[in-house]
A = this chain, B = another copy of it.
Amino acid sequence: MTPETRRPGRRPGSADTRGEILTAARRVFAEKGFDKATVRGIAREAKVDPALVHHYFDTKEGMFAAAMQLPITPHDVIPLLVDGPREEIGERLVRLLLRVTASPETREPMVALIRSAMTNEQAAAMFREFISNALLYQVAERLQVPHLRIEAAFAQMFGVVMARYVIKLEPMASASHDELVEILAPTVQRYFTG
């Protein structure tokens, strides 16, 4: 930020305020977890009016995604999964995840969140609550699929992202999207349609 754009104090609508809300959000999510964090609490931490938080971020999910710099929110993902033919949900989910993780800019924030969840109990609780309540449970409810099956599908795709981009197992790291869809889509499909 250049001296010209940096202003003292806070104004509604300045980039500054948005950044300060996100900094406060990261602190509150890390401390309280996803479930117990509230828009009101984050506004208090950022010393702004809750209405301003709502102005920038529609939902707590959206604020979490922005705070963690995630490339997609459950709000984007859920319709992509739930809408469209049920018999193609496996392929839709696999292609979506491969697309989102293909470029380092969108992948790295997700991997960073997972890394901290693997090594820090507080970060694990935050990740668990976010993934469960904002994503997996929503999908399970909307599609009327048992939660354990949604988690099995999550585990498959989580493992693929780790194997492909973090452990870099070959041939998985170099496989094309089509090759991976061919192998993985039937697994995910089976979890969703039994």
Contacts from A to B (Cβ < 8 Å) = 114-115, 117-119, 124, 127-128, 131-132, 136, 147-149, 151-152, 154-160, 162-163, 166-172, 175, 179, 183-184, 186-187, 190-191
Whether B155 contacts A118 by the Cβ 8 Å rule is no
Q: Which residues of B contact A162 (CB under 8 A)?
A: 118, 155, 158-159, 162
Q: Which residues of B contact A191 (CB under 8 A)?
A: 183, 187
- Measured CA separation A6–B170 after assembly (Å): 45
Whether B166 contacts A118 by the Cβ 8 Å rule is yes
Whether A154 contacts B159 by the Cβ 8 Å rule is yes
- Measured CA separation A190–B156 after assembly (Å): 14
A118, A119, A157, A162 interface centre (most CB from chain B within 10 Å): A118
- Measured CA separation A157–B186 after assembly (Å): 16
Whether A155 contacts B160 by the Cβ 8 Å rule is yes
Q: Which residues of B contact A128 (CB under 8 A)?
A: 167-169
Whether B187 contacts A152 by the Cβ 8 Å rule is yes
Whether B158 contacts A163 by the Cβ 8 Å rule is yes
- Measured CA separation A158–B154 after assembly (Å): 11
- Measured CA separation A190–B190 after assembly (Å): 11
- Measured CA separation A114–B114 after assembly (Å): 12
Q: Pick the contact of A154 from B114, B124, B169, B190 — CB < 8 Å?
A: B169
Given A159-B157, A167-B127; A152-B190 close (CB under 8 Å): no
Given A155-B159, A166-B117; A186-B190 close (CB under 8 Å): yes
- Measured CA separation A169–B163 after assembly (Å): 20
How many Å from the CB of A125 to the closest CB on chain B?
8
Nearest 8 interchain pairs by C-beta = A159-B159, A155-B159, A158-B159, A151-B172, A155-B163, A155-B160, A156-B156, A187-B187
